[in-house]
Amino acid sequence: MILRTKIIGLLLILAVADISHAQNSFQAILQQIDTNNLALKVYRQQLEADKLASRIGLSPSNPQAEVIYQWGSPVDIGNKTTISITQEFDFPTAYIYKSKLAKGSENSYQHEYSIKRAEVLQNASRVYADIVYYNALVAELQRQYKSAEIIAHSLERKFEVGEQNIIPSTQAKLVMQELSSRLEQIKMERLALRDELTALNGGIPIEVTDSTMLLPELPESFEAWYGKTEQLNPELAYLNNEIENSRLRLSLTKSESLPTFTLGYASEKVVGERFQGVVAGLSIPLWEKSNTIKHAKANQRYVQLAKDEYTFTYRQQAQRLYNKATSLNKLILELEQTIKQYDITSKLKLALEKGEISVVEYYSELNSYNAIRERLLEVQHEYLLTYIELNRFVY
């Protein structure tokens, strides 16, 4: 299987009989949700604010100006005026690491947004898959209902002409009622899903008419698939970026533990005299930065361990989902073969019309066949949900 980036990567999940139409439909829906989703709008604005915040504090602190005017006593000694302008500087390498860390923080914020975006689009994909499944189930039950209706009408006519008693006709009507109630329940659940999809689209309604599911092929090798999708994982990218950021924080902390400098100009004026010159100062960090380097080193070890734990867990979950999808795919093939091999609907109908089997026998056999058809839809649906979760970062 060839994995594609962005939204196109999941177009193989769902389709109608016209595959290209389904792909365009699914792609268009995800693009709408990507644009209209209210949560994503909030996240985008937050991303912009966070990126701007990461650039705060990169410049030196504000310069300090000071004017002191003192009256002399006795009066004949005159007054004294002192003026000073000073600027404090961190150790030069601190500004280099601050700038690099600001860029690293921007990357982390971008990865965090990508994670949230993937969650929203994954949820939209699940809802879309659910709606397509219910559309397919409605179509299947409508087929069963139409067939039951034909049988019921046929039995009703036979009862009216006295060829049989009312029991077969009543049994057929009960089957129709049961199918009708199931249809109404499924339509209500489908309506709730449509409302959920509308909410994900920022309140703008979306019509999903697809009712046939196209199963995407699994990759032949889990290792080959994992190697490609690992590069698209924003959670892993975030942790890798945080490892680099923790290294920069440690370097910045070491630079901030070095002395800071103060440079400036000072002037002092008294009666008949004036003194002026430069001001130079040095701040030695004996107590203020205590334990900051130890904290930075501990945080660096924590981030590395968090990345190692996530990589292990993610791989285990992906392997589990891959194995599950493989088993579901095998079951789908078996069910499809069973349905193809044991399609007895026409034979059962003919046997019922000839009186070779009773209504109870007819529906008993037919229900078994219909149950397999419905089971196939359920397994296909479960396969699609598993595939979506397996490829949840391919957006």
CATH of residue 254's domain is 1.20.1600.10
pLDDT for residue 155 = 66
Give dist(CA 136, CA 143) in Å, integer: 11
Q: Is the pTM of this model over 0.85?
A: no
pLDDT for residue 301 = 96
User: Is 41 inside any structural domain?
Assistant: yes
User: Is 101 inside any structural domain?
Assistant: yes
- Could you tell me if 164 and 353 are in contact, meaning their C-beta atoms sit under 8 angstroms apart? no
| Token couple for 290 | 């205590």
pLDDT tens, the chain, 395 aa long: 333 344 434 444 443 334 445 554 777 888 999 999 999 999 999 999 999 999 988 888 889 999 988 887 777 777 888 999 999 988 889 999 999 999 999 999 999 999 999 999 999 999 999 999 999 999 999 988 887 777 777 667 766 667 666 777 777 788 788 888 999 999 999 999 999 999 999 999 998 988 887 778 888 889 988 888 888 999 999 999 999 999 999 999 988 888 888 999 999 888 778 888 998 888 887 777 778 889 999 999 999 999 999 999 999 999 999 999 999 999 999 999 988 887 777 777 777 666 766 766 767 777 788 888 999 999 999 999 999 999 888 77
| Token couple for 96 | 């280099």
Q: E strands of the chain, at which residues?
A: 64-70, 80-89, 260-270, 273-283
Q: What is the DSSP string of 203-264?
A: T---------PPPPPPPS-HHHHHHHHGGG-HHHHHHHHHHHHHHHHHHHHHHHTSPEEEEE
Question: Which amino acid makes up residue 62?
Answer: N
pLDDT for residue 360 = 67
Other CB atoms within 10 Å distance of the CB of residue 290 = 10
- Could you tell me if 287 and 190 are in contact, meaning their C-beta atoms sit under 8 angstroms apart? no
Give dist(CA 2, CA 365) in Å, integer: 42
pLDDT for residue 393 = 85
| Token couple for 38 | 């209210």
Give all strands of the β-sheet with 273-283 in edge-to-edge order: 64-70, 80-89, 260-270, 273-283
SS3 assignment, position 66:
strand
Give dist(CA 133, CA 380) in Å, integer: 8
Give dist(CA 112, CA 387) in Å, integer: 23
User: Is 333 inside any structural domain?
Assistant: yes
Beta pairing, strands 64-70 & 260-270: unpaired
pLDDT for residue 185 = 94
Other CB atoms within 10 Å distance of the CB of residue 240 = 16
User: Is 352 inside any structural domain?
Assistant: yes
User: Is 137 inside any structural domain?
Assistant: yes
β-partners of residue 87 are 263
pLDDT for residue 290 = 77
User: Is 395 inside any structural domain?
Assistant: no
Give dist(CA 221, CA 319) in Å, integer: 11
Range(s) of the domain holding residue 202: 7-390
Non-local (6+) Cβ contacts of 107 within 8 A are: 241
User: Is 1 inside any structural domain?
Assistant: no
Q: How many domains does the chain have?
A: 1
CA dihedral 303, 309, 315, 321 (to 10 degrees): -110
- Could you tell me if 216 and 387 are in contact, meaning their C-beta atoms sit under 8 angstroms apart? yes
- Integer Rg of the chain from CA: 37
**Helix, strand, coil % in the chain, rounded to nearest 5:** 70, 10, 20
User: Is 114 inside any structural domain?
Assistant: yes
Q: What is the DSSP string of 16-51?
A: -SSHHHHHHHHHHHHHHHHHH-HHHHHHHHHHHHHH
Which residue, among 134, 143, 133, has the nearest Cα to 187 in the 3D structure?
134
Give dist(CA 50, CA 44) in Å, integer: 10
How many residues are given for the chain?
395
